[in-house]
Structure 1
Amino acid sequence: MENILILYGFKKTPYSRSFVPVPDIINAEFKDATVINEHYSKDKVIYQIYYLDENYHEFIIRIIIVYPDDSITIMADEANMAVRAYQALYNNLVVGISG
């Protein structure tokens, strides 16, 4: 995956382990996407998202949440898919927290 975006500072309190509702946020942005939890541990959660658009093009997005770093890494083959995922997460987590 060539396109990588990183979102820092999504938690309300530093060092907290806030729940990040990635499946809900992604399904709201990418209708009928399949979200698979590939890895879950105390420090890291990895999601793989499969999305088929209206033109039947398949896109794969990978989202990695690292709690100690307070970061969310978004990787995708297509830049526009990475940006859409980033904007959806940012608007729900960062703007939703401060706004």
Structure 2
Amino acid sequence: MATETIENLCNALEDEVIGFTRELIRIQSTTHNEETIVRFICEKMKSLGYDEVIIDDFGNVVGRIGNGDTKILFDCHCDTVEVNDPDEWQADPFGGEIIDGKVYGRGAVDM
């Protein structure tokens, strides 16, 4: 039963997750230029109802849901490397385009 419930939830959120992924790709966030994407992620977490969302002194987004003894950390980066030659790309590296059911763009499969 739990597997079916999780699968149903994932199916219900699929369009929202894909849309969010595409929005992230459209934000150019090269190393040392992550402020825009960090603020975007921060606002998304707030809109999802996180109990606390902060940007720490190092520019990391930290979100908290609940206040129990169990803690889960999801640690990832949100920067990408430069796009040296966008003409070499099959699709716009910052377009977040969907081609044949796959999302294309810089960082689409990184995290």
TM-score by length of 2: 0.32
Q: Which of structures 1 and 2 has the bigger CA Rg?
A: 2
Question: Relative contact order, CA 8 A, sep 6+: which one is greater?
Answer: 1
TM-score by length of 1: 0.35
